[in-house]
Amino acid sequence: MAYDYLEIQQGDLCQYTDDHDELKKSVRKFATEVVRPVSIELDKMSAEDVIREGSPYWDVMKKMHDLGYHTIFIPEEYGGIGLDPLGLHIFFEEMAVGSIGLTVSLGVDVFPTFFAAMILPDYPELEDLLIKPYVADKDCSMIGCWAITEPEHGSDILTPFQPHFHNPKISHQLVGRKDGDDWILNGQKAAWVSNGTIATLSLLFFGADKSKGMSGGGIAIADLNAKGVTRGKALEKIGQRDLPQGEIYFDDVRVSKDRIVCDEEAYENMTDLVLGAANAHMAIFGLGGARAAFEETLRYSKERIQGGKPLCEHQDVQRKLAEMFIKIEAGRQLSRNVMKFNLYSFPPVTAYSMASKVYNTNMALEVAQEAVQIFGGNGLTKEYVIEKLYRDITSTRIEDGSNDALTLAIGHDILFGERPY
């Protein structure tokens, strides 16, 4: 890597320690030596070949499970690594420098068990049902996903406490009905479900009461190997091609009561909590992508000769590099503070997570665009990784809520929310 960022010490509960430094070094090494090369290889493959048996995708995911990276949210008392919020930020930033797509894949792999660990005091049966076998998994026989997006619902299904969320004319396409203590699910989730083509378990959002609109939902930690679950084809995309995505169909799928972890009464609050966590992490993924683009550009500017001298000796290139650096450092401070405050705050101040996501992913695209300009014609070729980074970063502005929709949601929260601004 071309540069290392300073750790600005702050007087809070998440002080940067020697353990954080060792974590940064080890994850950076893994991202540089393992994740980045595999990501570049997967980018050249078809979506179906990425998830095929023997694909490099499975090699890198199994290595992450073997290292215990899938347990970073699981407390140590349950066998996990149990990183604190600062540790999680460091981990995901370094991983995303290697690949945004593979980092998202690991992030959603972890998501159902992260949710289970968060609510474990109220659902102790989840420890034996889910957490223990997931922590022990080394061969990726258990892969998670977050299934919320639907063919006709994207950002709207993600943004609670907005006017549309209680409109009975806008409701889920995956619908559940009670059958004794169990639920029977019918419908589908959209092709944009990350890990949707490969996941064995899902943090699954479904409609429970259409009269309440989007707010009348439920959440299950569903077994995707259950009878009645089928998958669509793997989604072909321009960016994050190393991230498997695809539709999931449900035909009279029975979900037992021990897997129902949220009912209609708590659904809107729980959706808000999940959105806060998801956006806080997507902000970090954008930051990592921006850093990758900056580091590649910094290195290239020292090697490329134009006008008889390296690019970096041209004053305007120095100005552009400085502006990229400033944006990245500002983005890190925002996303770190949001992560440390919101991850374990109940309820979270979700407007700050949305703001962090919008700022960092917009910033990342600005950095990537400037990087391509500095690379010139070479920035448009497959010979350099910068064009891949540009494609991968573009996706972050749409993932987990489009930035336009999230910005509107922030505005509504500022004007009409319960918190003073």
> What CATH number corresponds to the domain at position 410?
1.20.140.10
Question: Contact, 101 vs 45, CB < 8 A?
Answer: no
Asked if 116 and 166 sit in the same domain, the reply is no
pLDDT at 417: 79
Same domain, 299 and 172: no
CA 142 to chain centre: 18
Q: Does 225 reside within a domain? A: yes
Residue 2 pLDDT exceeds 70: no
Rg (CA), the chain: 21
What is the domain-level CATH number for residue 153?
2.40.110.10
Q: Is residue 12 part of a domain?
A: no
Q: What is the pLDDT of residue 15?
A: 82
For residues 325 and 336, the answer to whether their CB atoms sit within 8 Å is: no
In a domain? residue 195: yes
Q: Same domain, yes or no, for 182 and 125?
A: no
Does one domain contain both 319 and 373? Answer: yes
Q: 280 and 395, same structural domain?
A: yes
pLDDT score of 200 more than 50 = yes
Specify the pLDDT at position 14. 59
Residues 123-134 pLDDT 10s: 999 999 999 999
Same domain, 341 and 412: yes
186 and 153 in one domain? Answer: yes
Residues 247 and 277 in one domain: no
* Domain region containing 289: 267-416
| pLDDT tens digits, 270-320 | 999 999 999 999 999 999 999 999 999 999 999 999 999 999 999 999 999
Q: From 266, 288, 315, give the residue that closes a domain.
A: 266
**What pLDDT digit, counting tens, does each position of 218-269 carry?**
999 999 999 999 999 999 999 999 999 999 999 999 999 999 999 999 999 9
Instruction: Read off the pLDDT band of 345 (50, 70, 90).
Output: confident
Q: Report how far apart, in Å, the C-alpha atoms of 94 and of each of 277, 285, 292 are.
A: 18, 9, 9
Residues 34, 175 within the same domain: no
Residues forming beta bridges with residue 175, ordered by sequence position: 186, 207
pLDDT at 418: 61
Q: What is the DSSP letter of 34?
A: I
For the segment 43-65, what is each residue's pLDDT rounded down to a tens digit?
Answer: 999 999 999 999 999 999 999 99
Contacts 24+ apart (CB under 8 A), 35-41: 35/60, 35/95, 35/98, 35/99, 35/102, 35/103, 36/97, 36/98, 36/99, 36/385, 38/99, 38/102, 38/242, 39/98, 39/99, 39/101, 39/102, 39/242, 39/388, 40/385, 40/388
Tokens of 34: 């393992």
Task: With cut-offs at 50, 70 and 90, classify the pLDDT of residue 420.
Answer: very low
Position 192 in a domain = yes
Helix H or strand E segment including 306: strand 305-306
Q: Indicate whether 409 belongs to any domain.
A: yes
Rounded mean pLDDT of 179-194? 97
CA atoms 265, 353, 142, 227: torsion sign? positive
d(CA 144, CA 126): 15
* Residue 254, domain member (yes or no): yes
pLDDT score, position 409: 94
> Is 412 in the same domain as 273?
yes
Averaged confidence pLDDT in the chain: 94
Percent of the chain clearing pLDDT 90 (strictly above): 92
CA distance 398 to 402: 4
1 pLDDT exceeds 50? no
pLDDT tens for each residue of 104-147: 999 999 999 999 998 999 999 999 999 999 999 999 999 999 99
**Residue 9: pLDDT above 70?**
no
Judge whether residue 12 has pLDDT over 90: no
Closest CA to 261 of 82, 62, 124, 397: 124
Q: How confident is the model at residue 343 (pLDDT cuts 50, 70, 90)?
A: confident
Do 161 and 210 lie in one domain? The reply is: yes
Looking at residue 49, its amino acid is D
Domain boundary among 114, 136, 158: 136
Domain of residue 113, CATH code: 1.10.540.10
Domain closes at, from 113, 136, 159: 136
Residue 2 falls within a domain, yes or no? no
pLDDT for the residue numbered 421? 47
Flag whether 10 is in a domain: no
Q: Structurally, how many domains does the chain consist of?
A: 3
Supply the pLDDT for residue 344.
74
Residue 316 exposed, middle or buried by CB count within 10 Å (0-12, 13-18, 19+): exposed
Do 75 and 150 sit in the same domain of this protein? no
